């Protein structure tokens, strides 16, 4: 048809897929180019790589006439899984934001970031500022139109690689643990140094501080009191600080390394990207290496401290929550006396009395509930007992026990025998030790196995051995705990007999021996009739009548 218009034809002009990073900027000025390099470890073998990268990028950028070198930003000894702690990386981004940089060159995506979210976030942030990044290894320019898909895939691959490295590193660490190999830094480890071969050796000057802490705790002092004493004597912490805290003393008292052993994997990494670590509460295996290094504290003292820790902790966790109390060392009777009528703690009081028309103060011990019946909502008929009467009767009791030494030994030995392992239990203990040793040897053997062709069987065998080890170890721990109680009672009997032997000749006003009371008495129970039962740490108990004036026999 004449005069008709030709059909419209659309010609698609493709987007410019690739940028010309080697060209000058549109305004005719040279591109301001920066480079980013990162080495992930501080090992000496990596020093050369670090220096080579810096030199490479400096020469590479300066050799291009269209480029102007801004700076080579380089982080050394920093992990790539997070950008949080990379100081130079953060400076690079900040300089981009303020307009100092037009282009960035880096070796690879994994050097830039192994976290997919971080990588893409920074790429898009810089792309919005029209700043491109060129990854040499992957040959990707972020200003290219098709780069986004490749970047997402490659960044995910880099993150998976990081996860794999983390898992492999964790596996390698656990293999060393299974072989009994432990790395224990001594930079801030009070009492120990490291010799030229990497072994732990005792620093005697610092070890004396550790021994002092354990000794004072066993003598009855609390962690806060011990800390105050250390500061008073101007003793420095492992970090060279003047301030000691109750918590720092507690950590020393509960650290098995001072007894020569090593519990490994106390903390675990829960996120390979953030490197967040938490206390291992049993969610993953731990490894205990006995006699790993020289001990500062004997096993006996170590176990005694842990038992005393439990005793003091139990005060706050009584079954009904009615008799909880905070550990106190204000008096030698503190936290040891309890009411025989209601079971509550007995506390120290200053009371007033009258004699010949004159008032005077005296010290007594009385049931806490009796003093504050409304507060505890319990009625108690317990009487108060004079402190002087308790002191007098305890000293008289010691001399009676000294005179009847053989009966003391007989009674204590019977109690110790009740806690001691039977012959069958002792045989079982030996069998369990032998079985666990065999399992440990087998685990080490399998751990050293590098044959990947039987990986499934290998993993299943290890899991089975771990399960068997866990069951046997639980049974062994129960038997050893019972045996430990028996050994503890025997040790306390020896200590009591030693104190009895060193008593001076009996006098009418024998001075009270607070040291003997604190070291030998586990618990004292006061009844309405003024009868007091002293339960000794060696397992025996003795009764006295603690009236204000000693009753005539």
For every one of its 553 residues, what pLDDT tens digit does the chain have, with 9 covering 90 and above? Answer: 455 666 666 655 554 444 566 777 777 788 999 999 887 655 444 555 677 888 888 888 888 889 999 999 988 765 544 555 678 889 999 999 999 999 999 988 778 775 666 777 788 888 889 898 998 887 888 887 666 666 666 556 656 666 666 665 555 555 665 555 666 777 888 989 988 887 888 999 999 999 999 999 988 888 888 999 999 999 999 888 999 999 999 999 998 889 988 876 666 565 544 556 667 665 566 667 778 888 999 988 888 898 888 877 776 666 455 566 777 777 889 888 999 988 888 999 988 888 877 888 999 999 988 888 877 778 888 889 999 999 999 999 999 999 999 999 999 999 999 888 888 988 998 998 888 888 877 877 776 665 554 456 667 777 788 788 878 888 888 888 888 888 889 989 999 999 999 998 887 778 899 999 988 998 899 999 999 999 999 999 999 999 987 654 4
Alpha-carbon distance values, 156 to 84, 150, 170 (Å): 19, 10, 21
CB atoms near residue 517 (< 10 Å): 21
CA distance 311 to 522: 9
Q: ∠ at Cα 88 (85, 90), nearest 5°?
A: 65
d(CA 444, CA 176): 9
**Cβ atoms of residues 219 and 228 within 8 Å:** no
Instruction: Provide the pLDDT for residue 18.
Output: 47
Answer whether 429's CB lies under 8 Å from 421's CB.
Answer: yes
| Strand-pair category, 346-355 with 287-289 | unpaired
pLDDT at 172: 56
Phi-psi category of residue 377: left, alpha or beta, with phi > 0 → left and psi -120 to 50 → alpha: left
Q: What's the Rg (C-alpha) of the chain?
A: 37
127, 55 in Cβ contact below 8 A?
no
Residue matched to tokens 């829960």:
270
CB-CB contact of 495 with 515 (8 Å): no
Contact 238, 190 (CB under 8 A): yes
Tokens of 112: 């830039």
């Amino acid at each position: 048809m004449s005069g008709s218009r030709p059909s419209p034809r659309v010609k698609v002009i493709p987007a410019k897929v690739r940028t010309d990073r080697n060209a000058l900027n549109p305004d005719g000025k040279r591109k301001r180019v920066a480079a980013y390099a990162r080495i992930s470890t501080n090992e000496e073998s990596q020093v050369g790589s670090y220096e080579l990268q810096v030199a490479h990028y400096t020469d590479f950028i300066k050799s291009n006439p269209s480029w102007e070198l801004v700076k080579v930003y380089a982080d050394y000894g920093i992990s790539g899984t997070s950008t949080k702690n990379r100081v130079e990386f953060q400076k690079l981004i900040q300089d981009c934001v303020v307009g100092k940089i037009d282009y960035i060159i880096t070796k690879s995506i994994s050097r830039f970031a192994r976290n997919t979210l971080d990588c893409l976030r920074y790429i898009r942030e810089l792309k919005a500022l029209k700043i491109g990044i060129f990854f040499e290894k992957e040959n990707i320019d972020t200003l290219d139109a098709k780069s986004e898909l490749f970047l997402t895939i490659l960044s995910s691959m880099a993150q998976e690689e990081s996860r794999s490295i983390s898992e492999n590193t964790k596996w390698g660490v656990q293999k060393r643990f299974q072989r009994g190999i432990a790395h224990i830094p001594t930079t801030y480890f009070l009492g120990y140094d490291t010799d030229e071969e990497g072994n732990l050796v005792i620093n005697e000057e610092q070890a004396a501080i550790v021994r002092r802490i354990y000794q004072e705790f066993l003598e009855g002092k609390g962690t806060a009191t011990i800390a105050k004493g250390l500061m008073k004597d101007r003793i420095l912490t492992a970090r060279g600080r003047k301030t000691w805290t109750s918590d720092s003393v507690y950590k020393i008292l509960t650290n098995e390394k001072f007894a020569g052993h090593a519990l490994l994997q106390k903390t675990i990494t829960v996120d390979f990207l953030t490197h967040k670590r938490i206390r291992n509460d049993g969610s993953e295996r731990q490894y205990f290496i006995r006699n790993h290094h020289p001990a500062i504290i004997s096993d006996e003292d170590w176990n005694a401290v842990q038992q005393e820790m439990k005793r003091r902790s139990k005060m706050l966790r009584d079954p009904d929550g009615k008799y909880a109390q905070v550990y106190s060392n204000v008096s030698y009777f503190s936290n040891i006396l309890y009411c025989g009528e209601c079971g509550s703690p007995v506390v120290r009081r200053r009371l007033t009395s009258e004699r010949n028309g004159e008032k005077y103060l005296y010290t007594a011990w009385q049931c806490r509930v009796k003093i504050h019946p409304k507060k505890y909502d319990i009625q108690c008929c317990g009487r108060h007992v004079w402190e002087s009467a308790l002191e007098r009767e305890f000293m008289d009791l010691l001399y009676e026990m000294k005179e009847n030494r053989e009966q003391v030994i007989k009674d204590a030995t019977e109690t110790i025998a009740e806690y001691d392992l039977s012959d069958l239990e002792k045989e079982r203990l030996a069998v369990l030790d032998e079985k666990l040793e065999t399992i440990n040897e087998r685990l080490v053997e399998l751990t050293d196995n590098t044959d990947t062709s039987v990986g499934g069987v290998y993993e299943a065998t290890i899991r089975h051995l771990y399960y068997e080890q866990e069951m046997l170890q639980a049974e062994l721990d129960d038997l050893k705990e019972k045996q430990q109680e028996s050994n503890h009672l025997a040790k306390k009997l020896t200590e009591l007999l030693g104190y009895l032997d060193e008593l001076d000749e009996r006098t009418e006003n024998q001075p009270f021996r607070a040291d003997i009371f604190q070291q030998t008495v586990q618990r004292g129970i006061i009844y309405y009739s003024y009868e007091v039962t002293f339960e000794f740490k060696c397992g025996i108990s003795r009764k006295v009548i603690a009236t204000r004036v000693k009753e005539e026999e």
